[in-house]
């Protein structure tokens, strides 16, 4: 399996519901390093997994929707504990929509096998969502 990865970061604020979260029930901030890995079985005719420039541009566009936002106030996220794990899945879903629309290159939506989104909360803790793009 071939892979190509791009990365960026976002800064958000949020709070959690539930005693399990202790002081994180209060509004607090987080800076996430975001890494996205695109995978496919065979390289395209140009020797690529996908266009790295387009992949980075789409990642930045998706992250711009969340960057410097209080996630508690983002309508489509209301009612969810926006944990690192949840947000890895949310970013995956948003990216997948752009991929299916052909935003990271012609024909790429049909040839990418899977994608992994990693959110690094700190140097010692991170979460990921890994899924098929079929």
What is the model's pLDDT at position 14? 98
Domain membership of residue 116 as a residue range: 1-51+108-134
Total tally of structural domains belonging to the chain: 1
In a domain, residue 90? The reply is no
pLDDT for the residue 134: 85
Domain presence at residue 42: yes
* pLDDT tens-digit readout, 62-117: 999 999 999 999 999 999 999 999 999 999 999 999 999 999 988 898 999 999 99
Backbone angles phi, psi at 26, to 5 degrees: -80, 155
Position 97 in a domain = no
3-state DSSP: the chain helix, strand, coil percent, rounded to 5? Answer: 35, 35, 30
Q: Considering the domain boundaries, does residue 9 fall inside one?
A: yes
């Amino acid at each position: 399996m071939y892979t190509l990865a791009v990365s960026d970061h976002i800064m958000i604020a949020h709070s959690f519901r539930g005693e399990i979260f202790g002081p994180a029930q209060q509004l607090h901030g987080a800076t996430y390093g975001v890494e996205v890995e695109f995978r496919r079985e065979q390289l395209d005719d140009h020797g690529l997994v996908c266009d790295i420039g387009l992949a980075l541009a789409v990642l930045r566009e998706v992250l711009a929707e969340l960057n410097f936002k209080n996630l508690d106030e983002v309508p489509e996220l209301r009612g969810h504990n926006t944990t690192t794990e949840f947000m890895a899945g949310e970013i995956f879903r948003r990216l997948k929509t752009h991929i299916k629309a052909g935003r990271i290159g012609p024909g790429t939506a049909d040839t990418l096998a899977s994608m992994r989104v990693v959110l690094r909360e700190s140097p010692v803790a991170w979460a990921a969502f890994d899924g098929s793009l079929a």
